[in-house]
């Protein structure tokens, strides 16, 4: 009961301040001020469409430049974009702002609130509440916003009396388009309801503040689409590639002999493990600086699995210093399972995979230290590497280790090529696991990749030839993808 | 079961993320999965810190080779942890930022960590020189080509390069060293890079398909496809 009363009082307080907020945010009446100012010519033909291929809540606006923008009096400095919102939206925005202030008080992050601002006055009211009251009020206000949003579409029909013009954004002179990307989150103050009547206006503004308004656009509605037609070429490519992969995998399963060209770096892995065994020195495996979500790191996990299995069979020592705690956890699991698969679970040591640091150069210092102290026979660098690639590889070369590297970071490939004995370039890193395993099913996917590459080469050659003629552009447009 | 559940999760999450690229209402789901990853990452940080402490304590207790370095690591770890956790020397209260000016955390960061990191980074200059020396030895045809291309690009970035070929007439300006360097970077170099990028793109799709379809299971410790 107490909470309900509190909620009602706060809501009343907020709503009573609404008139102030409206006055503050609504259109400034410049008629008196601009009496002596020279008004610019207004922008013309404001039009808009629902943003295509999106999840809704957005409108694309376009207009003709004011004749005084770049010509005529040449006084237009910028365009102010406004949208009309019903009083209910203003009320809900205020409630959303208060929810945000309550959140900040709960999280003790009110430092950024400017003194004397509306948020500051809200803060002063809410700070008097206890923590549990704050939670209750926040939940009640959130529920209020949620219910209020359902009435927005109806409230939008009250144009023009039942609302006000709100400033949305400004664009510099010479601009004739604006994408109003609204939020789909009802809790956000930038929320734009779908299937509701929306109204827009664009003002040409001069340096001395004189404004001239365009025609009013509306009612216009936004809505979401179920399929992004801009990405149709990608859908076709992915489907084609998936079919190719499935076809070759099936072919491989039936026992077809699939030839894939040999990779020097992959063939060197077995030799390198053998060399380490003979020398009685460890193998250093570096997974790079990528996170577990990076595809290069995932590819590196698969290679680590193969290497660890061989290492377990040969009873060689493996060192895997990691940069990321999640990578460490996954790598531990991969290595442990590889030892298990090799039938040597007892040989697995908990320290094989260990965490070092999440600081780039501290990690380099630690790994370099391992290289110079342990003198590994083989260093394997597979994954995502950045500026540290050359420092690592050069130190390894100085320590006299055989080095095998692989990365998809274009800028680091030259460094690895220079400093390492074998380098897997780009896609070879992803293919390495399939090569190492030599399983027909995995080789099938590589075969599909080769055919896709051949198709791209053919298309590129056709594109180059057609580009010499007028209809080259049409061919290129077939593959255009808009984000 | 231990391997089936991760395979199902990989398939479902992978498929949803692919679909979310083409179906706008599913975009939010993709963002949610990224959030799930971040939440899991928070727990992994404790594992990372715990692993670091355990490994170095073991080294010290066993008196392994160079165990003295482990003392430095652990002292650094715990001092930074205490400085950040208890906000030692922070000008504000406990709610103020850990990196506020005047805090012990910020002081150690600026006076110890930054110079040490810069020192490591500076080593790169020397390593570039030694690697270049090794790469540019004209021991075969490819290395000779590399040497010539690198020489032109190096020369093209200097006033000397401009001066050297300033006499070449405008109609043959492509043979002026700075222009030749630009051409090398924007044509053969870019073409090579794009070929690698296309290969990487296909490789990413290929490995993703292998993981989503459960063909690649090495990361689960399963060698059998």
- The gap between the terminal CA atoms of chain B, to the nearest Å, is 16
Contacts within 8 Å (CB) and 24+ apart, A338-346: A338/A304, A338/A305, A338/A306, A338/A308, A338/A309, A338/A311, A338/A312, A338/B221, A339/A308, A339/A309, A339/A312, A340/B221, A341/A309, A341/B221, A341/B222, A341/B223, A342/A309, A342/A312, A342/A313, A344/A312, A344/A313, A344/A315
pLDDT (tens digit per residue) in B116-141: 999 999 999 999 988 888 887 777 88
CB A46 within 8 A of CB A82: no
Q: Reply yes or no on whether the pLDDT at B220 is more than 80.
A: no
Taken in order B81, B86, B89, B91, is the CA torsion positive or negative? positive
B83: alpha, beta or left, given left = phi > 0 and alpha = psi -120 to 50?
alpha
Half-sphere exposure at residue A117, Cβ-oriented, CA atoms within 13 angstroms: 12
Helices (H), A375-482: 388-398, 413-419, 427-437, 440-467, 472-477
- Which 61-100 residues of chain A touch chain B by CB within 8 A? none
Query: Domain extents for chain A?
Result: 2-220, 229-256+442-477, 264-438
d(CA A403, CA A384): 16
Residue B143 confidence (pLDDT): 82
Residue A169 confidence (pLDDT): 93
Measure CA A216 to chain center.
Answer: 36
d(CA A275, CA A283): 10
Residues 6+ apart with CB under 8 A from B10: B211, B212, B214
DSSP 3-state of B172: helix
- Which 1-30 residues of chain B touch chain A by CB within 8 A? 18, 21-25, 27-28
DSSP 3-state of A220: strand
Distances in Å between the Cα of A170 and the Cα atoms of A204, A424, B34, B150 are 10, 50, 33, 48
The 3-class SS string of A294-348 reads CHHHHHHHHHHHHHHHHHHHHCCCEEEEECCHHHHHHHHHHHHHHHHHCCCHHHC
Max Cα distance, chain B (Å): 76
Does A58 touch chain B if contact means CB atoms closer than 8 Å?
no
Does A313 touch chain B if contact means CB atoms closer than 8 Å?
no
Distances in Å between the Cα of A66 and the Cα atoms of A40, A175, A205 are 8, 10, 10
Does B112 touch chain A if contact means CB atoms closer than 8 Å?
no
Q: pLDDT tens digits for chain A (483 residues)?
A: 455 545 555 555 555 554 444 444 444 444 444 456 788 889 989 999 999 988 889 999 999 999 988 887 888 899 999 999 899 888 888 888 888 888 888 877 777 778 888 788 888 888 888 888 888 888 888 888 888 888 888 888 888 888 899 999 999 999 999 999 988 887 777 888 899 899 999 999 988 888 899 999 979 999 999 999 989 989 999 899 999 988 998 888 888 888 888 888 888 888 899 999 999 999 999 999 999 889 999 999 989 998 999 999 999 999 999 999 999 999 999 999 999 989 999 999 988 999 999 999 999 999 999 999 999 999 999 999 999 999 999 999 999 999 999 999 999 999 999 899 999 998 899 888 788 877 777 888 889 989 999 999 999 899 888 888 877 778 888 888 776
Chain A positions touching B95 (Cβ under 8 A) are: 108-109, 111
Is B52–A356 a contact, with Cβ atoms under 8 angstroms apart?
yes
Residue of B nearest to A185 (CA): B28
The mean predicted confidence, pLDDT, of chain B is: 87
Chain A positions touching B5 (Cβ under 8 A) are: none
Q: Best of A224, A319, A387, A394 to disrupt the B interface by mutation (most B CBs within 10 Å)?
A: A394
Distances in Å between the Cα of A364 and the Cα atoms of A214, A377, B132, B158 are 60, 19, 20, 32
Given 3.30.2350.10, 3.40.50.720, 3.30.70.260, 3.40.50.150, which CATH number is that of A264-438? 3.40.50.720
Does A351 touch chain B if contact means CB atoms closer than 8 Å?
yes
pLDDT (tens digit per residue) in B39-75: 888 888 888 999 999 999 999 999 988 899 999 999 9
Tokens of A350: 């908990």
Chain B positions touching A336 (Cβ under 8 A) are: 221
| CA distance, residue A65 to nearest chain B CA (Å) | 32
Residue A34 confidence (pLDDT): 47
Residue A25 confidence (pLDDT): 44
Tokens of A448: 């599909």
Residue A239 confidence (pLDDT): 92
Residues 6+ apart with CB under 8 A from B8: none
Residue B139 CB neighbour total at 10 angstroms: 10
Phi then psi for residue A287, to 5 deg, are -90, 0
Query: Which residues does residue A205 pair with via DSSP β-bridges, in sequence order?
Result: A78, A211
Give the nearest partner residue to A449 out of B23, B135, B202, using CB atoms: B202
| CA distance, residue A356 to nearest chain B CA (Å) | 6
Residue at token pair 């200059």: B125
CB A160 within 8 A of CB A176: no
Residue A83 confidence (pLDDT): 93
Does A469 touch chain B if contact means CB atoms closer than 8 Å?
no
Q: What is the ipTM of this complex?
A: 0.90
Beta strand pairing status for A177-181 and A58-64?
Answer: antiparallel
Q: What CATH number does the domain located at A2-220 have?
A: 2.60.40.10
| CA distance, residue B28 to nearest chain A CA (Å) | 9
- pTM here is 0.81
Residue B127 confidence (pLDDT): 92
Q: Best of B18, B41, B48 to disrupt the A interface by mutation (most A CBs within 10 Å)?
A: B48
Chain A positions touching B123 (Cβ under 8 A) are: 391
Q: Best of A50, A56, A325 to disrupt the B interface by mutation (most B CBs within 10 Å)?
A: A325
């Amino acid at each position: 009961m107490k909470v309900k009363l509190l909620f009602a009082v706060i809501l009343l307080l907020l709503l009573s301040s609404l008139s102030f907020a409206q006055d503050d945010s609504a259109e400034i009446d410049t008629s008196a001020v601009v009496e002596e100012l020279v008004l610019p010519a207004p922008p013309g033909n404001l039009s808009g469409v629902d943003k295509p291929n999106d999840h809704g809540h957005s409108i694309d606006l376009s207009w003709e430049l004011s004749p005084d923008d770049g010509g005529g009096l040449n006084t237009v400095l910028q365009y102010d974009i406004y949208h009309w919102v019903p009083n209910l939206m203003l009320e809900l925005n205020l409630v959303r702002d208060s929810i945000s202030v309550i959140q900040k008080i709960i999280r003790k992050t009110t430092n950024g609130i400017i003194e004397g601002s509306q948020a500051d006055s809200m803060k002063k009211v809410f700070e008097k509440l206890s923590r549990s009251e704050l939670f209750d009020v926040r939940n009640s206000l959130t529920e209020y916003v949620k219910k209020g949003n359902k009435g927005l579409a109806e409230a939008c029909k009250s144009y023009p009396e039942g609302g006000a013009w709100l400033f949305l954004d400004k664009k510099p002179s010479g601009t004739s388009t604006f994408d109003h990307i609204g939020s789909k989150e009802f809790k956000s103050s930038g929320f734009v309801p779908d299937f509701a009547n929306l109204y827009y206006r664009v003002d040409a503004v001069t340096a001395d503040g004189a404004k001239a308004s365009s025609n009013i656009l509306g009612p216009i509605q936004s809505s979401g689409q179920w399929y992004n037609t801009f990405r149709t070429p990608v859908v076709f490519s992915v489907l084609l590639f998936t079919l190719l992969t499935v076809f070759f995998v099936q072919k491989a399963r039936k026992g077809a002999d699939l030839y894939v060209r040999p990779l020097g770096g992959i063939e060197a892995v077995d030799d390198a493990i053998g060399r380490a065994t003979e020398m009685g020195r460890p193998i250093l495996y570096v997974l790079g600086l990528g996170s577990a979500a990076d595809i290069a790191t995932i590819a590196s996990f698969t290679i680590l699995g193969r290497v660890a299995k061989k290492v377990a069979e040969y009873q060689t020592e493996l060192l895997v210093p990691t940069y990321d705690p999640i990578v460490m956890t996954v790598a531990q699991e991969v290595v442990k399972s590889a030892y298990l698969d090799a039938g040597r679970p007892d040989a697995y040591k908990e320290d094989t995979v260990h965490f070092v640091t999440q600081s780039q150069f501290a990690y380099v210092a630690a790994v370099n230290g391992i290289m110079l102290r342990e003198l590994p026979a083989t260093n394997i660098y597979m994954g995502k590497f950045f500026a540290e690639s050359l420092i690592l590889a050069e130190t390894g070369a100085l320590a006299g280790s055989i080095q095998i590297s692989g990365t998809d970071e274009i800028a680091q490939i030259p460094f690895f090529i220079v400093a390492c004995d074998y380098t897997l370039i780009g896609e070879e890193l992803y293919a390495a696991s399939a090569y190492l395993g030599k399983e027909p099913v995995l080789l099938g996917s590589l075969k599909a990749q080769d055919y896709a590459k051949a198709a791209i080469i053919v298309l590129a050659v056709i594109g180059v030839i057609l580009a010499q003629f007028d209809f080259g552009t049409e061919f290129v447009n077939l593959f255009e993808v808009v984000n | 079961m231990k391997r089936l559940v991760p395979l199902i999760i990989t398939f479902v999450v992978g498929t949803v993320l692919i679909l979310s690229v083409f179906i706008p209402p599913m975009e939010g789901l993709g963002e949610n999965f990224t959030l799930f990853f971040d939440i899991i990452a928070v727990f992994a940080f404790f594992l990372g810190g715990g692993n670091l402490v355990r490994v170095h304590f073991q080294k010290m207790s066993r008196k392994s080779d160079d165990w003295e370095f482990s003392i430095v690591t652990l002292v650094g770890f715990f001092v930074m942890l205490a400085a950040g956790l208890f906000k030692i020397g922070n000008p504000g209260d406990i709610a103020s930022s850990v990196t506020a000016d005047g805090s012990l955390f910020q002081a150690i960061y600026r006076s110890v960590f930054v110079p040490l990191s810069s020192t490591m980074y500076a080593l790169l200059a020397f390593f570039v020189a030694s690697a270049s020396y090794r790469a540019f030895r004209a021991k075969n045809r490819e290395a000779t080509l590399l040497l010539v291309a690198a020489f032109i690009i190096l020369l093209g970035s200097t006033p000397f390069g401009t001066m050297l070929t300033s006499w070449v007439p405008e109609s043959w300006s492509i043979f002026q060293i700075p222009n030749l360097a630009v051409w090398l970077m924007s044509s053969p170099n870019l073409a090579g890079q794009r070929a690698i990028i296309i290969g990487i793109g296909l490789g990413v799709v290929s490995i993703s398909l292998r993981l989503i379809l459960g063909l690649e299971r090495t990361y689960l410790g399963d060698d059998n496809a």
